[in-house]
Amino acid sequence: MPKYLLMVNHDGGAFEEPMDRWAPGDVAAHFDYYAALTEELVASGEMVQFTPLADPRLARIVRSDGASAPVVTDGPFPESKEVLAGFNLVEVESEARALEIAARISAVPGPGGVPTQQPVEVRQVMTDAAFDL
């Protein structure tokens, strides 16, 4: 079965305010939704990995030539650290199923229980068969 990486965009979707400004009950509902969805996908055998990421302000970019000391920066450029909030790796029967799961992730509740509509990028994981394109 193919695997898909579902990358949750840090863009707040329908909400501009960061989660650290949400009411505690709204934060709890947000994470409870993710927990229930993860439990369902683990039970179905589709969830390979679920990983939320820490606040992007804590991210760093590392570049190294392998010989000298690495350069660690926090640049002003749009980078994955500024957009990637977390990811799911799923193994599903089809791309259609991966898109269905991505839609459920995008509908995670935000303040007042309103779906956040966060963008979720769906990419198939490269396999030997992918080279036959």
Distance CA 6, CA 81 (A): 16
44-70 residue pLDDT tens: 999 999 888 777 777 777 778 888 888
Is the pLDDT score of 89 beyond 80?
Answer: yes
Average pLDDT over the chain, rounded to whole? 84
What would the mean pLDDT of 26-37 be, rounded to a whole number? Answer: 94
Is the confidence at residue 133, as pLDDT, over 50?
A: no
Q: Long-range contacts for 122-129 (Cβ within 8 Å, ≥24 apart)?
A: 122/4, 122/5, 122/6, 122/7, 122/95, 122/98, 123/4, 123/5, 123/7, 124/2, 124/3, 124/4, 124/5, 124/95, 124/98, 125/2, 125/3, 125/4, 125/5, 125/89, 127/2, 127/3
Among the residue ranges 89-93, 104-108, 129-133, the one predicted with the least confidence is: 129-133
76/119: higher pLDDT: 119
